[in-house]
Structure 1
Amino acid sequence: MESLLGLLRVRIIRGVNLAVRDTTGSDPYVVLRMGRQKLKTSVKKNNVNPEWNEDLTLSVSKHLQPIKLEVYDKDTFSRDDKMGDAEFEVTSFIEAVKMSSTDFPNGTTITTVKPCRQNCLAGESPILWRDGKIVQEIVLRLRNVEAGEIELELTWIDIPGAPGF
Structure 2
Amino acid sequence: MECLLGLIKVRVVRGVKLAICDPLTHSSDPYVVLRLGQQKVKSSIKYKTINPEWNEDLTLSITNWTIPVKIEVFDHDTFTKDDSMGDAEFSILDFVEVAKKDLTNVSDGTVMKTIHPENENCFAAESQIVWKEGKVSQDIVLRLRNTETGELILHLEWVSIPGLGH
TM-score over 0.5 for the alignment?
Answer: yes
User: Take 1:104 and 1:61, find their aligned partners in 2: how far apart are those partners?
Assistant: 26
Is the CA contact 1:103–1:132 (under 8 Å) kept in the aligned structure 2?
no
Gaps of 5+ in 1: none
* TM-score, structure 1 normalization: 0.95
Is the CA contact 2:139–2:155 (under 8 Å) kept in the aligned structure 1?
yes
1:110 corresponds in structure 2 to: 112
1:44 maps onto 2:46 in alignment: yes
Where 1:2 maps in the other structure, the secondary structure is coil
Instruction: Report the CA distance between 1:161 and its aligned residue.
Output: 2.2
Is the CA contact 2:99–2:136 (under 8 Å) kept in the aligned structure 1?
yes
1:158 corresponds in structure 2 to: 160
Where 1:19 maps in the other structure, the secondary structure is coil
Where 1:26 maps in the other structure, the secondary structure is coil
1:35 corresponds in structure 2 to: 37
Gaps of 5+ in 2: none
Where 1:99 maps in the other structure, the secondary structure is coil
Report Cα offsets for 1:101-141 as digits up to 9, x if no partner: 33422221111011111110001111111110000110000
2:82 corresponds in structure 1 to: 80
Is the CA contact 1:122–1:140 (under 8 Å) kept in the aligned structure 2?
yes
Matched residue count:
164
2:61 to 35, 59, 84: 59
Note closer, same or farther for the CA distance 1:3–1:31 as it changes in structure 2 (3 Å cut). Answer: same
2:122 corresponds in structure 1 to: 120
Question: More deviation in 56-65 or 72-81?
Answer: 56-65
Give me the identity figure in percent: 55
User: Take 1:85 and 1:63, find their aligned partners in 2: how far apart are those partners?
Assistant: 20
Where 2:32 maps in the other structure, the secondary structure is strand
User: Take 2:56 and 2:78, find their aligned partners in 1: how far apart are those partners?
Assistant: 23
AA partner of residue 115 (structure 1): P
* TM-score, structure 2 normalization: 0.94
AA partner of residue 131 (structure 2): W
User: Take 2:127 and 2:140, find their aligned partners in 1: how far apart are those partners?
Assistant: 5
Question: More deviation in 151-160 or 97-106?
Answer: 97-106
User: Take 2:106 and 2:154, find their aligned partners in 1: how far apart are those partners?
Assistant: 23
- What does 1:139-150 align with in structure 2 at a 5 Å threshold? 139-150=141-152
1:138 corresponds in structure 2 to: 140
1:8 corresponds in structure 2 to: 8
AA partner of residue 3 (structure 2): S
